[in-house]
Structure 1
Amino acid sequence: MEKLDVFDCSNVLIASYFTDDRECTHENKEHTLIYLYSGELEIEERGKKTVLHPGDCAFMRRDNRMWLHKCVAEGNPYRSITLKFSRAFLREFYQTLNRQEIPADSKREKVSLRVLPNNRPDIRSLFESVVPYFDTGEKPSEDILKLKMIEGVYVLLNTDRNLYASLFDFVEPWKIDILDYLNENYMCDLSMEEIASYTGRSLATFKRDFAKVSD
């Protein structure tokens, strides 16, 4: 049996190690930052394929489905580290921001996958600093996990001012457009509860908003 190892820290920081190729459908319940150490990762979303190589880092926006192909490359195992940002954490982080420093022109992007510029020291130091925990099998403390999440948020905010709107889309003006989401995901077999969640709404709010746009 091929080796399969996934090290999960509170479903926030996750390390994966595969010695054979793996494919899966990935549903982003939370905004996700993924860093590839070795191997190769093919991500297909909406008919577009993106390939990540060692040292690459990508942001996968919440409420999207993607097909992931995790590959062994040139004899090197697939190895990645994933950082997830819950709504609760982002709400807490948002409250610490100086409102005057939040860019007023930040616009929520429709793209579900963004590859970050490579060779950035802040990205490399963030993920390399957690490798020893996974190598030893020792779970970092909750305080350390929170610090890593904060570092991850700043990695994104320092990449593009529009990521303010993508990360903090629980704020009313940044709510996901219902018709845009339905047009992009009409092939998916989703329940009304799932669509409500994916568009940043409670079920009751979704029904009310949908009634407004479908009249």
Structure 2
Amino acid sequence: MQSHFNYLCITMKSKREDFGNIVYSCYTQVSRQGEHFVSDHVLSYQIAGDLVLNDGFKDYSATDGSIRFLKRNQLLKFTKQPPPSGEFKSLSVYLDQQILKDFSVEYGLTAEKKYVDKSLLLLTENPLLQNFMQSLLIYQFSDKLSDSRLVEVKVKEVLILLLQEEPDLKDVLFDFNEPGKLDIEAFMNKNYHFNVNLDRFAYLTGRSLATFKRDFEKIFGITPGKWLLQKRLKEAHYLLEKGKMASDIYLDLGFEDLSHFSFAFKKQYGLAPSKIISA
């Protein structure tokens, strides 16, 4: 059985120590890594530094000592801020579908209803989970998590603790259905600024890629690729008029790099982003 922990301490030199699925690394600079597709449920412990997550609606901040649960099959943007003269550090437990299915069979747990609460849950002032995370740090520093038997036991332990503290999460953890069909128009207007492939958008709206493209064109009258570019550039123009700098907005709008953004913007509007004067 593979390990199901990732230990992340973020550094400018990207130092890594790999223990199978347990990864130790460090950054000392602000890390804006853009978007992230959460493919598995994650329980994450903030050790040092600040983390800001955005799900398309609002920002969620996590500071030292906080614990957060992220639902699978969602898009998030994140910014990692190290403390002054320190390092960003977090500890995360990834709960993949196979381990949850095995746990479900072993303990007779099934989802009974659709969980419709937030996609991100902050678990504050939870001494049991905090003590659990601290115990993982001790094991990690002593290189004990290289033993897959210990990892298996610790994953089961955290699942039991999590369900004791948040019983309603049973309907999240043991819901093994794939995303159902969503309203494409509402979904895309919320998530157009995430830089992910079309097949990811298709999956999250409960469609094959071919069906997604067909349904999209019926609604918007244009291909998804052209719509995404126009939507992002229109928002960029608005933000530039408000006084924002191109270097501050291109990642947030789903562009991979500044040069690509600048080229696309000039082609669309006939002016470089720097020529747009704020009102």
TM-score by length of 2: 0.60
Q: RMSD over aligned Cα, in angstroms?
A: 3.2
Q: Mark the CA change 1:156 to 1:15 in structure 2 (over 3 Å): closer, same or farther.
A: farther
1:30 aligns with 2:36: no
Q: Structure 1 residues 21, 192: CA separation in 2 closer, same or farther (over 3 Å shift)?
A: closer
Give 1 or 2: higher helix fraction. 2
Moved over 6 A (4+): none
Q: Which residue matches 2:66?
A: 56
Q: Is the contact between residue 41 and residue 51 of structure 1 (CA under 8 Å) also seen in structure 2?
A: yes
Alpha-carbon contact 2:80-2:88 (below 8 Å) kept: yes
> Aligned residue for 1:147?
153
Structure showing greater Rg: 2
Q: CA deviation at 1:110?
A: 4.8
Residue type of the partner of 1:146?
A: E
Please point out which of 123, 128, 149 is paired with 2:134: 128
1:77 and 2:87 matched: yes
Percent identity between matched residues is: 20
When residues 154 and 3 of structure 1 are mapped into structure 2, their CA distance, relative to the original with a 3 A threshold, is same
Question: TM-score of the superposition, structure 1-length normalised?
Answer: 0.76
Which deviates more, 176-185 or 144-153? 176-185
1:117 corresponds, among 124, 132, 143, to 124
- The residue type equivalent to 1:67 in the other structure is K
CA distance in 1, matches of 2:166, 2:117: 14
2:172 corresponds to: 166
> Which shifted more, 83-92 or 126-135?
126-135
Alignment gaps of 5+ in structure 2: 1-10, 216-279
Which ranges in structure 1 are unaligned for 5 or more consecutive residues? Answer: none
Q: CA deviation at 1:28?
A: 0.7
Equivalenced residues, count? 199
Letter of the structure 2 residue corresponding to residue 27 of structure 1: F
Aligned partner (choices 151, 158, 181) of residue 178 of structure 1: 181
- The one-letter code of the counterpart of 1:111 is K
- Distance in 1 separating the partners of 2:105 and 2:164: 18
Residues 5 and 132 (structure 1 numbering): CA distance in 2 closer, same or farther, change over 3 Å?
farther
